[in-house]
Chains A and B, each alone.
Chain A
Amino acid sequence: MGGNDRQRIEAYLGRLFGYALSLGNDRDLARELVQECAVKALAARRTPVDEPAYRAWLFTILRHSFIDHTRRSGRAAGELDETMPLDGAQAWTATDGMISALTVKIGMAKLSSSHREIISLVDIVGLSYAEVASFLGLPVGTVMSRLSRARLCLLATLTTSNVRVLPEQRRRGGK
């Protein structure tokens, strides 16, 4: 163990942080979880040699750390929002300007943890559908439908109620 193990983990820090953030929606907690994951990984006697297996192993450590944290803190995990019908995909329209890192960051914070997690695993961690299925213990078909719904919910947060909630009278009317 030593520099090589450390370098190996460092290559994943960004993705570990992104995944941790998607789980808890809390930057401080995300840093804590990544630290904890790194410490556990560095302390492990044996680590997977194969890179995909190593990556899955690392993210599993982090996920277990998050589950332990929620148990300790009594914090409820987010509920999966399965109510968004997939045929609602035709309902939204997005202009170029509405999708940016800033708006997506705000939108992600409003999703359920399950939705954030699956988007994060695919778009930040970079796992394939098959890898996500294996990681979460789900059929690939479920991964597909959950991811589709999650993205639809995210797009909905970007495109609904644009100006309606900011009428001029509300500001001027005051209290």
Chain B
Amino acid sequence: MSEPMPSWEDLNAYVDGELAPPQAAAVARALAEDRKLADQVAALTRLKAAVHETVAGVELPQIAPQRHSRRLAVPIAAAAALLLVVGAGLFLGVLRPAEPVWLARVLAAHRQWVKDDRRLDEPLQAGVVLARLHQLDPDAQVPDLAAARLAVDFVGPFDPDGKNQGLLIGYVGTRSCHVSLLIFPAPAGLGEEQQEYRHGSASLFAWRAGRLGYVLTAVGMDESHLTLIARTVEQAIRERQPLDAEARTALRHSRNVSRPCAT
């Protein structure tokens, strides 16, 4: 006689290790025979891990202020050193290469998004981001910039070459900041090394990672802060890893000492 199919509650309890051994064994037998059930359990397991990961490495309140400064000392020094190097590079004018033609489209797309204050008609569906990214290229990545108080607020197509092959990921901050990350098939001439371009109050940082080109841009944003964000995003994308604790701390500190965005 076949056993009854496990319910959705049973599958949840199985994943949580809450079933008694005989029940757990019955669910395990059902999973072995039903691919859909096995997929659901796999998804529940991933979901559980992802929920846990959402708070991994967050900036926690410090109970002891004296420890706070000691813990932050190294990352802050690293961030300061990075900003110093970047600042020196800017001063020397070494980060001002000739502009590629597609750059104007990047800036126009960013300005259009900000101008229209476009959002999705419905609240942002979380799956939109990865579904569209996957459609563009399985290697495409969108780093989580919560440490800089920037949240993904918009995802839309970007047309760098008339083929509409790119995506614009719009991050919105809590101080009127709008940061766009544009992802598209890397055009000829776009190198691995990150390049910075300036257009008035707009800064654009462009680089290639594999088959894809990335541009991070914002208008009226604190230059040092945006530079650090661009470097951090590039590193996260290259390493295919979420931001590590040091990068998050550096971003948080940089945001705290930067001025709000000019509107």
A contacts, CB < 8 Å to B: 6, 9-10, 13-15, 17-18, 21, 27, 31, 34-35, 38, 42, 86-87, 89-90, 93-108, 110, 119-120, 122-124, 128-129, 144-145, 147-148, 151-152, 154-155, 157-163, 165-166, 168, 171, 174-175
Contact = CB atoms under 8 A, between A and B. Distances in A.
B125 A162 contact: yes
Given A103-B129, A159-B127, A42 B63 contact: yes
Contacts, number: 169
A166 B7 contact: no
B8 interface: yes
A158 B127 CA distance: 4
B121 A21 contact: no
Most buried by B among A14, A101, A110: A101
A97 to B, nearest CB: 5
Given A97-B134, A105-B146, A129-B16, A148 B9 contact: yes
Contacts of A15: 55
Interface residues on B, range: 35 or more
Nearest to B16: A122
A126 to B, nearest CB: 9
25 contacts: A6-B64, A10-B63, A13-B63, A31-B60, A38-B61, A87-B8, A89-B40, A96-B46, A97-B131, A102-B130, A102-B142, A104-B47, A105-B144, A106-B124, A128-B18, A144-B9, A144-B12, A159-B127, A161-B125, A162-B131, A162-B132, A163-B135, A165-B128, A171-B156, A174-B112
